[in-house]
Structure formats: C-alpha cells, structure tokens
Amino acid sequence: MKQLVILSGKGGTGKTSVTAAFAHLLSRSDAPFRTVLADADVDAANLELVLSPKILSREDFRGGQFAKIDWDTCTGCGICEQVCRFDAIGDASQPQFHRLAIMRVAESDTPNAPIPDLPIVDTIACDGCAACVYQCPVDAITMHDQVVGQWFRSESRYGPLFHAALGAAQENSGKLVTLVKQQARLLAMDEGYDLVLVDGPPGIGCPVISAVSGADLALIVTEPTASGAHDMRRVLETTDHFDVPALVCINKADIYPQGAAEIEEFCRQKGIQVVGKIPFDTLVTEAMVQGQTVTHYAPDAPISHALGNVWDKVASKLKDIQP
Amino acid sequence: MIIAVASGKGGTGKTTVATSLAQTLSRNNLSISCLDCDVEAPNAHIFIQPNLDQRKNVDMQIPKVDADLCTGCGRCAEVCQFHAIVVLGGQTLVFPEMCHGCGSCALVCPEDAITEVPQTLGILEGGLASDGIDFGHGLLNIGEPMAVPVISQLKKWRNYMDADIVVLDSPPGASCPVVESVRGADFVLLVTEPTPFGLHDLRQAYELTQEVNIPAGVIINRDGIGDAGVEAYCHEVNLPILMRIPLERKIGEGIAQGKTLLDIDPKYEKQFMQLYRQIGNRVEAGGAQ
C-alpha cells in the first residue's frame, strides 16, 4: 500500500480540487490503484463537499485537557498564574479574564454572587500541561477533557473516505490528522486497497507534519504568484526534511505565465519534476457549486485534460516507488 | 485599535486585505504596525517590502537532565502530559519534539536535576517599510510543529502592539494558531470567497470569533464567482458584509507580482479608509454596550 499526500504551503492553491479530480480518475474501472481517501485538512475539511459522502460511522475526538480552578478551595496565592507559560491564568483585574469570571459566575448555582478576586483559566489559551495542577499548594486545580471534534468513515461517490470536523478554536489538529490517516490505512490494509490519497492542510507546521508522516510521495500544488512560490519552497524544504519525494504542479498557471516560468526554472535547478500546468478556469467553481469535481462536470474541458495528464505522471511516479 | 484578518479557508485574500489596509492607514498619517502571524507560510513582506533589519530567535525552554543528580524517581515523567520525558532503565530521556516547554518537570524534580535550555523554534524578523509601516513576521523552522509560541512571541516583540493601529495577518484554518493570532484583537475581518468551500470555512472562522468573543465582519473577495451561499449565511447570522473585491484578471495578475490593491488601483485607498471607519464605528458601538 502506498500513500500520496497533496500539499501546498500557501492555502487556496487548489489542493482539494486536485485531490477530488484524482479521486474521480481513480474511481474508473481501469484505474491503476484501488484507493482510500483521507481529508487531512481538519480545520477546513472541504473534500466532502464535492464527494457527496454517506457517513457510515462517526466517533468523538477528545482533545487535549484544560485546567479548572475550584474557587471554594483556592486561596488566591497566585502560584498557578506564575507557573503558567501560556498566559492562560489570570484574575478579574485583567480584561480577558474579567469576562471569563463573569461568565463563570453567571453559569454557576449563584449567578448573582460577586465576582471573586481569584484566578481563572482561559480554557482556549490553556495548553493542558498541568504545571499549575502540580504546583497548587492546596490542590484546587484539576484537569478536564472535552470532545473537540468528530471523525467519520464514509462511503463517497469515489470510494471510502475518512474525514473529520474539528470544533472552532480547538487545538490538537495534528493528532486528529494522525487519527484520520491511521483509520484510512487500517481499512486499506484490511481490505486490500493499494493507495491512500491524503488531501493535506496548508502551512508547514503540526498538521502538515502529521499529514506528511509515512507518505511515499507528495504532490505540491502551487500557483504562479509570489506568495505561492515562496510557500512552495517552504513546503518542499519540509518534505525534504522528512525524506518524502515531491512533485510540483502549477495550478492557475496562465494567470501570470512569467511566475509559472520562474517556478519551473526553480524546480529545474533543484531537480524537482514539474508534472504539469493547470489553467485557471471558473468551471472548477461551477462544478463545486454543483457538488462535483471538475473532471466529472466538464470531462472534455481543457482543465480536465490538464488534470488527467498531471494524474498520469503522478501515477507513473507512484508505480516506480517501492513502498 | 487591533484589527485581525482571518479566513478559515486559505488563499481567500487575507494578506491582500491586511497589507492594503495597513498601506492605506499609513498613507493617512496613522502609526501602523503590521504583523504577519502566518509563521508557517508568511507572505505579507512580499507586498509591504520592509527593510528587515531586526532579528530575534524564538526559543522554547526544554529540559536537560543532570545524570549525576538524577535518581530516576520518575516524578518528571509522571507530570509530563506530553510524554516528552520518560525514565527507562533508571535513565531519564527527553524527547524535545514532544515537549511543550511548560517547565513542569523542572518544577517538580526533587533533586533539582533538571535545568532548562533554549531550543530554537523559529525566528522573528522586523523593520520599517518605506511608507512607515512597522512590520514584523515570524518564520517557523522547517520540521518544527509548534507555530503558537512563535506567534505569541512575535506579538510581544518590539512594542508593535503600542501603535495606534495594529493589523494582524492570521494563518488560515480555525484552530490554535488562529486563536493565538486573533487573541486580544478588537475586531476580526473575515475574508472569504462566495463558493461552497469559502462558506464552509467561513462558518468555522466565524464560530472561532464567537468563541473568543471578538466582533467580526466579512469581506467577500472574488465577488461574482460561485453562488449566493455566503451572502445568505451572513444575513442569517447577522454578520455584516463590509467590502467586496471583484474577480478581475487585473487584480489576480497584480497580486501574483506582489502588488497590493492600492498599487493595482488607487481607488482602493478610499475603499479601505471607509472600511477602517466602519470597523471603528463597530468597535466603539460594541465598547459602549
């Protein structure tokens, strides 16, 4: 079984549209791989919007923990605030903690009680390190966890899809990415699939590292803009750091041909294969509005041919790689 | 006033809006800081072209165990929530890539065998642009997972936050790096595009602004493409649409070359001034409530 991850560095270059087109092409009876799909962009999970998945099972994802201070026990000594390195503990004299204290009192059994001069935890800022728990001299602090998202196994138009939804303002997206990928791989192994196709997140940090981990090949979808080229270089350094071979395709290549030529020259110098240029076409958005991939919606359009050519090159590279 | 620019979906035009807004305000004689908080994929410098002559490493304190003092009691491993320090065969081992730098292990060690040493996560760079914008950004090191400490240190660096107006360019998404970026802002501008993907991710980003209790407004970029879903959603949740930027080839080409909207068409200066006044009115109205 092999794993292909689609990345970009910069957001909005077309990762999901390319992934969805590949998923469509891979669903044909003559496709070289039987494929399981995984959406590793759990902050902005869009693949499902063009694959019309039917959810077969859903599971809660419990995220990292947060601290809670018991005001009945707390003496207000301030040690917790001193040891917290995440600016997550303060008292009502500071504006952002004042609001939290008001909310906590309002939701308590005594909503009309005065706001106490005691520390409170900003659960969104809390890293879950529990340093305060161990330093509190009167054991007034305990850790709690919560459901921060869900992950799903679905049957999509183009085969099995693993995806997730992380609640807004939550952490641990890297862990959720790892979980989604792990589940996709397990199914692939159990049922003899040949490929896990992973739609990656933007950036180069924690969720990207989780998405890259274990991949046999990365396809970087870039665009011929100064920003696209800048971020492509950073994501190529990242795949290189984790020893994952990478290919590049240039999306919306015709919006600024000079930029596309510069990317091609950069890749030539670095020995990175450019597997194609895809034109800008509002058909992609039209197809998206219909909940479809562009290759399905407009199979004979130049953009669909370009995507088909990119896929052929990626597939031939994948076949050459020993897992 | 602190204005954060966020989006949910990537590539909707956050940086275009943030840099054009900062440029507009500095041309109107306001003292402006502009911080690019997308430390994974920072691009605002391409448009603002600052002279990046200030540098600072971003370090995280990670534990170092003195084997002579360590008795292998395992207290450090017990308190570490991230499995970054373990005792194996009487030896205490540190896994720096798992460490969150919280310092809990050093605090609990009964033998004082743990000291903390800096590990570099990334770098901050800053400097002035020709139009007077005081600019800063962070660069997360390649292979380093934790963006949040780089963002939080950037926001504490060089008195940026003391400017009359601070424009924060946030990373995409709706999880912890975005929370850290918009933390403390008076207003969040949510830049979206009128497509199903744009709408899906706008919902996430708007929920985030509600979680952190910061008023928000929407800018629709590439207006004219897609469908009416974003507009309908904004009406439904009473989220004001403050500006529209049309889908135009001229804009796409200009941005590709690193131009701001003001460079592409000077008429945008007036539009961004209007945007700024609208934000100011909304922040004042919110503060009075």
Distance from CA of B43 to the nearest CA of A (A): 6
Give the model's pLDDT for residue A169: 86
User: Rounded to whole angstroms, how far apart are CA atoms A99 and A78?
Assistant: 19
A131/B144 touch (CB, cutoff 8 Å), yes or no:
no
- Tokens (6 digits) for A294: 């562009």
Indicate if the pLDDT at residue B67 is higher than 90. Answer: yes
Interface with chain B: mutation pick from A18, A225, A243, highest number of B CBs within 10 Å: A225
A190: confidence class by pLDDT, cuts 50, 70, 90: very high
Residue A49: which of B11, B146, B196 has the nearest Cβ?
B196
Give the model's pLDDT for residue B132: 94
Residue B87: strand, helix, or coil: strand
Cα–Cα–Cα angle for A41, A44, A49, rounded to 5 degrees? 100
B90: confidence class by pLDDT, cuts 50, 70, 90: confident
A90-94, B7-11, B285-289: which is most confident: B7-11
pTM, rounded to two decimals? 0.94
Give the model's pLDDT for residue A64: 80
- Environment class of residue A201 by beta-carbon count within 10 Å: exposed (0-12), middle (13-18) or buried (19+)? buried
B265 φψ region: left (φ > 0), alpha (ψ -120 to 50), beta (else): beta
Nearest to B8 by CA among B252, B133, B182, B215: B182
B residues 81-110 lying closer than 8 A (beta carbon) to A? 81-82, 100-104, 107-108
Q: Which residues of A touch B8 (CB under 8 A)?
A: 43-44
Distance from CA of A292 to the nearest CA of B (A): 11
Give the model's pLDDT for residue A256: 96
State what percent of residues in chain A have pLDDT above 90: 91
- Tokens (6 digits) for B57: 């490493």
The residue that leads in pLDDT, A204 or A169, is: A204
pLDDT digits (tens, 9 = 90+) for B96-150: 988 999 999 999 999 999 999 999 999 999 999 989 999 999 999 999 999 999 9
pLDDT digits (tens, 9 = 90+) for A38-61: 999 999 999 999 999 999 999 999
Residue A124: which of B142, B177, B179 has the nearest Cβ?
B179
Nearest to B8 by CA among B170, B151, B166: B170
Contact B20, B275 (CB under 8 A): no
The residue that leads in pLDDT, B242 or A123, is: B242
Which region among A95-104, A149-158, A222-231 has the lowest average model confidence (pLDDT)?
A95-104
Indicate if the pLDDT at residue B215 is higher than 90. Answer: yes
8-state DSSP, A254: G
Indicate if the pLDDT at residue B289 is higher than 90. Answer: no
A170: confidence class by pLDDT, cuts 50, 70, 90: confident
**A205 and B CB contact within 8 Å:** yes
Which region among A282-296, B54-68, B275-289 has the lowest average model confidence (pLDDT)?
B275-289
Residue A204: which of B100, B140, B172 has the nearest Cβ?
B140
Give the model's pLDDT for residue B288: 56
Mean pLDDT of chain A: 95
Indicate if the pLDDT at residue A320 is higher than 60. Answer: yes
Nearest to A291 by CA among A17, A9, A2: A17
Indicate if the pLDDT at residue A171 is higher than 90. Answer: no
Distance from CA of A152 to the nearest CA of B (A): 17
Mean pLDDT of chain B: 96
Give the model's pLDDT for residue B84: 96
pLDDT digits (tens, 9 = 90+) for A93-131: 888 899 899 999 999 999 999 999 999 999 988 999 999
The arrangement of strands across the sheet holding B2-6 comes to: B54-65, B114-128, B134-140, B32-36, B165-169, B2-6, B187-192, B216-223, B241-246
Which region among A92-106, A187-201, B147-161, B234-248 has the lowest average model confidence (pLDDT)?
A92-106
A172: confidence class by pLDDT, cuts 50, 70, 90: confident
Residue B197: which of A49, A86, A209 has the nearest Cβ?
A49
Q: Which residues of B touch A241 (CB under 8 A)?
A: 142-143
